[in-house]
């Protein structure tokens, strides 16, 4: 599994120079989380990276809560695009 930040930013940006909107940040964090999840299947005893992995999950959760509170429509679309909730 490959993590490519540029392609993720291109897919989720809201305007030409957008790299920091909550939508882009959530998508990039999800890409990193998915990459690390695959890494932990291969290396289950990598506890040092696991701490950073849990921090990424918490950061994504906070960004999702912000988006849900301020931009309900964007929240719904990003949840569907990234298939985060069922």
Q: Give every CB contact of residue 42 below 8 A, 6+ residues apart in sequence.
A: none
> Could you read off the pLDDT of 10-60 as tens digits, one per residue?
999 988 898 899 999 999 999 999 999 999 999 999 999 999 999 999 999
Beta strands (DSSP E) in 1-86 are none
For residue 5, the surrounding DSSP H or E stretch is helix 5-12
pTM, 2 dp = 0.91
* pLDDT for res 86: 56
Minimal CA–CA distance to 81: which of 29, 16, 11? Answer: 11
- Decide which of 79 and 86 is more confident: 79
What kind of fold does domain 5-82 have according to CATH? Helix Hairpins (1.10.287)
Domain boundaries, the chain: 5-82
* pLDDT for res 85: 81
Going by pLDDT thresholds of 50, 70 and 90, the confidence category of residue 3 is confident
Long-range contacts at 68-71 (CB < 8 A, ≥ 24 apart): 71/22
């Amino acid at each position: 599994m490959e993590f490519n930040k540029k392609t993720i930013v291109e897919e989720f940006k809201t305007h030409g120079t957008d790299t920091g909107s909550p939508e882009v940040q959530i998508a990039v964090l999800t890409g990193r989380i998915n990459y690390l999840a695959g890494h932990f299947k291969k290396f289950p005893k990598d506890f040092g990276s696991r701490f950073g992995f849990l921090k990424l999950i918490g950061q994504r959760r906070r960004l999702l809560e912000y988006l849900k509170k301020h931009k309900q429509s964007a929240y719904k679309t990003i949840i569907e695009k990234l298939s985060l909730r069922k």
